[in-house]
Amino acid sequence: MPDVAENRFVSRSPDNPTQLVIRGDWVLGHYAELRQLTKRLRNDDTPYDQADLQHIGKLDTAGGQLLTELLGSELMQTLADDADALPAERRVLLARIAASLDSEAPPPSQQGALFELLGNVGKHTVALYDHVRTLLGFAGLTLAGMAGGLLRPATWRVTSIVAQIEQIALNAVAIVALLTFMVGAVIAFLGATVLSDFGATIYTVDLIAFSFLREFAVLLTAILMAGRTASAFTAQIGSMKANEEIDAIRTLGLNPLHILVIPRVIAMIVSLPALTFIGMLSGMFGGAVVCSLALDISPTMFLTILQQNVAVQHFYLGMAKAPLFAFLIAIIGCMEGFKVSGSAESVGEHTTSAVVQSIFVVILMDALAALFFMEMNW
């Protein structure tokens, strides 16, 4: 270790080469010199595992931090615990500095971008696994609560369920009908444009019926409910969490799952199939209007073709997906509400997360259902 023996702050003990003798004033006035000395000694290869602090003159927080960086948090904590080495006030100061530096996050890794990328992939994979496990656990608790409620009709919260149905279904009828009507009209225009080149414009009716009965009605309604209702569930429960109202419910001996979650889930399971049915009718009506105006297919002919060429099983397949989508949307919205930490920012973050997750899960489940139906030749 060069210049240690001549340095006025640090030297090696003549009896023990691995012991440093600290002397002088370790204060803010000598910070620049002490900083360079500390950096030079930490880069030196000569080991040291002991230190003598009894010869220190003045000491303040800046000097204590540099001294802790030089000796390390573990050695400094050991020295601070030695009652004979230092006065009590210095032991407390150095112990707190050592604990503070020891709790700080480690410096960023100097590894390459590939290692950092793999690390981030691993972190996100673990986070995804934890999230899926939490979602499945929350869904299991909800199903268990609903099953228990079937055996105890007196615990049903009919008023809450009816109020939620009004907010979810009745207030959304207009927007669902308008949206599906316009999409039905667009599909009819596209079908007529493409099929006219083959002289098969009559099959535009089949295109509209198949697309809305099997896919578009339930998918558009579910996506609309994900943006409208899942966000509302998260915001409502999250605001209650932030205002400690959920803690008050638990204090009263009540279960927030039965009061806040189950009525919303049941209302969503009732509402989404009803809205899906309205979306089917409205979408086909929009297609029928375009067929009547642009393709000279009268409403009577439209209904006749619909009755002859489209089997009722397509209606059943579309409606069968609605309760599943409803359950997933309601579960995700309620779960994200319970994750709110307590601030308005947290409410906004989890509301956005609920919408994104709900739309993603709905589209994923719809794709899986389409593959399953295709393999089953339904």
Strand partners, 355: none
> What burial letters (b/e) apply to 94-104, b meaning 16+ CB within 10 Å?
bbebbeeeeee
The model's pTM is 0.68
In this structure, of 112-116, 141-145, 284-288, 313-317, the range with the lowest mean pLDDT score is: 112-116
Domain boundaries along the sequence of the chain:
10-103, 157-375
- Percent of the chain past pLDDT 70, that is, above it, reads 92
Q: Which amino acid is at 277?
A: F
pLDDT tens figures, 292-333: 888 888 889 989 988 888 888 999 999 999 999 999 999 999
Ramachandran region of residue 340, left (φ > 0), alpha (ψ -120 to 50) or beta?
beta
**Sheet harboring 50-59: ordered strands across?**
10-12, 19-26, 50-59
Q: How confident is the model at residue 11 (pLDDT cuts 50, 70, 90)?
A: confident
For 2, the 3-state DSSP assignment is coil
- The pLDDT value given to residue 177: 94
> Could you tell me whether strands 50-59 and 19-26 are parallel, antiparallel, or unpaired per DSSP bridges?
parallel
- The pLDDT value given to residue 79: 74
Question: Could you give phi then psi for residue 46, rounded to 5 degrees?
Answer: -75, 120
pLDDT tens figures, 19-68: 777 878 888 787 888 888 877 777 766 667 677 777 788 888 887 788 78
pLDDT tens figures, 221-247: 999 999 999 999 999 998 888 888 888
For 156, the 3-state DSSP assignment is coil
Write the CA distances from 80 to 23, 88, 89, integer angstroms: 16, 9, 10
What does the longest C-alpha to C-alpha distance in the chain come to?
A: 109
CA distance 367 to 371: 6
Q: How confident is the model at residue 6 (pLDDT cuts 50, 70, 90)?
A: very low
- The pLDDT value given to residue 108: 54
> Could you tell me whether strands 10-12 and 19-26 are parallel, antiparallel, or unpaired per DSSP bridges?
antiparallel
Ramachandran region of residue 368, left (φ > 0), alpha (ψ -120 to 50) or beta?
alpha
